[in-house]
Amino acid sequence: MNKLEQTLSIIKPDAVERNLDNEIKEIFKKKGFVIKKAKKIQIEKTEAEKFYKVHETKPFYNDLCNYLSSGPIVAMVLEKENAVLENRKLMGATNPKDAKEGTIREKYGISIDKNSVHGSDSVENAKVEINFFFKD
Ligand code: UDP
Ligand code: MG
């Protein structure tokens, strides 16, 4: 069933650092996502820790939070039918080595940690994550 959804996308520091943010935005638009909101920001480590709280018991948590707060990121609200799943498909697998051809992570990802983009993994989490970056 198709329903109009919103999801949170983040262009991560490795991609912003390489000036890939506009190119990645164009990919989303070409695939039919409407970028409802976008902002380039740098967050504090404490904010990254809140954002990635679901991963707090994982061995990579500390490095992940250091990384997300290490440089500018672009946070975006993307809208499309089935946006959550469609964005996950377009992003590709967490490890760029496993990401299918044509996906953003296959194209731009450097490693499992520097994998260029974040995307919400459920409609419920999308709401929480959108609110995290875009409280109005
Ligand atoms: N990550 C990592 N090492 C791992 C697994 C994940 O550095 O072994 C990082 C990676 O940047 C990933 C993020 O933690 O994007 C969140 O992990 P998750 O499993 O939620 O992957 P995603 O939803 O981003 O595909
Ligand atoms: Mg995830």
User: pLDDT tens, 24-66?
Assistant: 999 999 999 999 999 999 999 999 999 999 999 999 999 999 9
CA of 94 to the centre of ligand 2 (A): 8
Say what the pTM is. 0.98
pLDDT at 136 over 80: no
Catalytic residue among 20, 118, 129, 130: 118
Asked if 32 and 89 touch (Cβ cutoff 8 Å), the reply is no
CA of 98 to the centre of ligand 1 (A): 13
Strands (E), the chain: 4-11, 34-41, 73-81, 117-119
Q: Any catalytic annotation for residue 118?
A: yes
Pick the atom of ligand 1 nearest to 88's CA: 25
Residue 27: partners with Cβ closer than 8 Å, 6 or more residues away = 90, 104
Task: Give CA–CA dist 107/24, Å, rounded.
Answer: 10
Model confidence at 80, in pLDDT bands (50, 70, 90)? very high
Give the count of beta carbons closer than 10 Å to the beta carbon of residue 10: 22
In CATH, the number for domain 4-133 is 3.30.70.141
Q: Could you tell me the residue ranges of all domains in the chain?
A: 4-133
Q: Which ligand lies nearest to the CA atom of residue 117 in the structure?
A: 1
Task: Give CA–CA dist 26/52, Å, rounded.
Answer: 26
